Chains A and B, each alone.
Chain A
Amino acid sequence: QVQLVQSGAEVKKPGASVKVSCKASGYTFTSYYMHWVRQAPGQGLEWMGIINPSGGSTSYAQKFQGRVTMTRDTSTSTVYMELSSLRSEDTAVYYCARAGVCSGGSCLDYWGQGTLVTVSS
């Protein structure tokens, strides 16, 4: 069965960087794009970007351009999301989610369990 298992919670100081991992299993890793979505406490869902695990190409939301980097390791079927220059507003749960089999891969059919990143001095 498809599983996306994310790394554990992180506490970071303002200005630092965080790197969250998402290990995929149960399907062909390079056949499905992967999205990253975050959710601040009590708030809605916010899309951060997408990575093609096959070639490594990425597309980021304008809000995060210059601060976010998404990478992948095909040998371990893992995608990574690194966010730099952290500020308190980046405190959120970060999710990876697979782009599913729907029109243009526009749906997110499997999600990781989420990783809480807390930014605090």
Chain B
Amino acid sequence: DIQMTQSPSSLSASVGDRVTITCQASQDISNYLNWYQQKPGKAPKLLIYDASNLETGVPSRFSGSGSGTDFTFTISSLQPEDIATYYCQQYDNLPPRITFGGGTKVEIK
């Protein structure tokens, strides 16, 4: 099974700061990597799909990059409403299987 190592597990940053989260796959997953935002008590929300594509309606301060085994998620200028936990997610298709990273809790300093 492919393992996803997400780091850090938590971070604290100031409003306006650039925030970066990384996700490493245990083997090549091409660009089958997505990023979600989850606020307390809510369902996750898709932000980035296929490693670097911004989901419709998602603010442009969110971005993703990477391919193969190493991926990065960036918030270019942290806003108070970005306080949430962020998850990476990979997909295998033979057989169909999804694995989530452990999550990164983002807080305001």
Contacts and interface: CB of A to CB of B under 8 A. Distances in A.
A44 B100 contact: yes
A79 B38 CA distance: 23
Contacts of B38: 45
Contact of B53 (A102, A104, A114): A102
Size class of the A contact interface (CB-based, 8 Å): 20 to 34
Interface string A79-106: 0000000000000000101001011101
Contacts of B66: none
A45 B98 CA distance: 10
A9 to B, nearest CB: 13
A111 interface: yes
Contacts of A50: 96, 98
Interface in B29-51: 30-32, 34, 36, 38, 43-46, 49-50
B49 A102 contact: yes
Given A45-B36, A46-B100, A108-B98, 6 more contacts: A37-B100, A61-B97, A107-B46, A107-B91, A108-B36, A108-B44
22 contacts: A37-B100, A44-B87, A44-B101, A44-B102, A44-B103, A45-B44, A47-B100, A50-B96, A59-B96, A103-B31, A103-B49, A103-B50, A104-B32, A106-B32, A106-B34, A107-B34, A107-B49, A108-B44, A108-B46, A108-B98, A109-B49, A111-B45
